[in-house]
């Protein structure tokens, strides 16, 4: 097994045989990964041997002396040997030189799937005994799998209500339905107590499991008493004009009278038409009387 930690990568590479395993990955590591292989290439150079210089012979012994011919032959031989040595070194260097070429063998798209992310814009619109839990969810935070459902819970966190368990915390109550549809963005909550603080929490679920939990606190409105209700209605009662009430009642009664008259006319017309049709369709009796003379 080969274990490798890249300098600029947060994940860990584990290689077992021909399998490469990535550990500690996150959704930001998704993308296209390319597998490269190195192929050694040997470069050879064709060399052409340089012919050796022919030996110098003594053709004109009378014109040249032996003392002048000896240094010329030695210099030529040294230059020739030096060139041969350089050619051998260059040939050996080029033959033994290896170059590595990188080739892309396979491209793989890596998709990292995680649990869903948190919901956003969570708030509770409360009244006295009921309210609406409203939230938003970004589909790009689904974790790679579609969101199956949402789960929401609430509990009473008011200090004037003593917890029932030994942990001094109120128990969570699961909202109905237990599995909220993924396209729903608000839920109604009933049977709340007036002027009481509640804590709500919600999370998304997908194939990988439950996502990040988001919570919010809210206090319901106090219950309205009779004195408060009278105090709210008193300004309207003081500014109320009875003539407006009389006009409104007259309009309503007049409308009812017109409707009653119209109904009577329609009924009487239908009765008259049915009577005329019955008379026209009834058989006529003919009586023949014979007189004797």
**pLDDT by 10s per residue, the chain, length 293:** 444 444 455 555 555 666 777 777 777 777 787 776 665 555 554 555 555 444 444 444 444 455 555 666 677 778 878 888 888 877 766 655 444 555 666 777 878 888 999 999 999 999 989 999 999 999 888 988 999 999 999 998 886 656 666 566 788 999 988 999 999 999 999 889 999 999 999 999 999 999 999 999 999 998 877 776 677 777 777 777 788 889 999 999 999 999 999 999 998 888 888 887 766 665 554 445 555 54
| Dihedral of alpha carbons 239, 242, 244, 248, sign | positive
Alpha helices for the chain (secondary structure H) = 66-96, 226-238, 242-281
- Predicted pLDDT of residue 62: 43
pLDDT of residue 95: 53
- Is 281 buried (19+), middle (13-18) or exposed (0-12) by CB count in 10 A? exposed
| Cα atoms in the 13 Å half-sphere on the side-chain side of 280 | 6
Q: How far, in Å, CA of 10 to CA of 281, rounded?
A: 100
CA distance 39 to 100: 6
Residue 5 pLDDT: 44
* pLDDT for position 249: 92
Q: Please tell me the distance from the alpha carbon of residue 274 to that of residue 282, in angstroms, as a whole number.
A: 13
pLDDT score of 4: 44
Q: Label residue 193 exposed, middle or buried (CB < 10 Å: 0-12, 13-18, 19+).
A: middle
| SS3 call for 208 | coil
Radius of gyration of the chain (CA): 53
Under a CB-based contact definition with an 8 Å cutoff, are residues 215 and 191 in contact? no
User: What are the distances in angstroms from CA 122 to CA 44, 186, 216?
Assistant: 72, 10, 7
CA nearest neighbour of 205 among 182, 188, 183, 186: 182
Give the three-class secondary structure for 104.
strand
**SS3 category, 18:** coil
Q: What is the DSSP letter of 65?
A: -
């Amino acid at each position: 097994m080969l274990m490798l930690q890249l300098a600029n990568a947060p994940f860990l590479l584990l290689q077992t045989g021909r399998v490469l395993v990535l550990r500690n990955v996150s959704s930001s590591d998704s993308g296209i990964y390319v597998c490269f292989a190195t192929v050694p290439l040997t470069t050879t150079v064709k060399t052409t041997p340089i012919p050796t210089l022919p030996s110098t012979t003594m053709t004109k012994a009378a014109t040249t002396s032996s003392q002048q011919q000896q240094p010329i032959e030695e210099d030529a031989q040294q230059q020739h040997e030096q060139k041969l040595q350089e050619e051998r070194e260059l040939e050996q260097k080029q033959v033994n030189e290896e170059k590595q070429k990188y080739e892309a063998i396979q491209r793989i798209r890596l998709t990292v799937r995680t649990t869903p992310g948190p919901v956003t814009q969570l708030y509770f619109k409360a009244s006295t005994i009921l309210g609406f839990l409203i939230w938003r969810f970004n589909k790009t935070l689904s974790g790679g799998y579609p969101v199956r459902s949402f789960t929401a819970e609430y509990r009473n966190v008011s200090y004037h209500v003593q917890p029932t368990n030994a942990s001094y915390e109120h128990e969570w109550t699961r909202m109905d339905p237990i599995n909220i549809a993924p396209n729903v963005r608000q839920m109604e909550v009933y049977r709340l107590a007036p002027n009481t603080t509640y804590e709500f929490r919600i999370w998304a679920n997908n194939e990988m499991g439950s996502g990040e939990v988001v919570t919010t606190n809210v206090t319901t409105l106090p219950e309205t008493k009779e004195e408060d209700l009278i105090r709210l209605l008193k300004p309207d009662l003081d500014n109320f004009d009875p003539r407006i009430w009389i006009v409104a009642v007259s309009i309503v009664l007049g409308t009812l009278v017109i409707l009653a008259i119209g109904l009577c006319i329609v009924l009487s017309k239908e009765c008259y038409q049915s009577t005329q049709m019955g008379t026209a369709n009834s058989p006529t009796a003919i009586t023949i009387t014979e007189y004797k003379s």
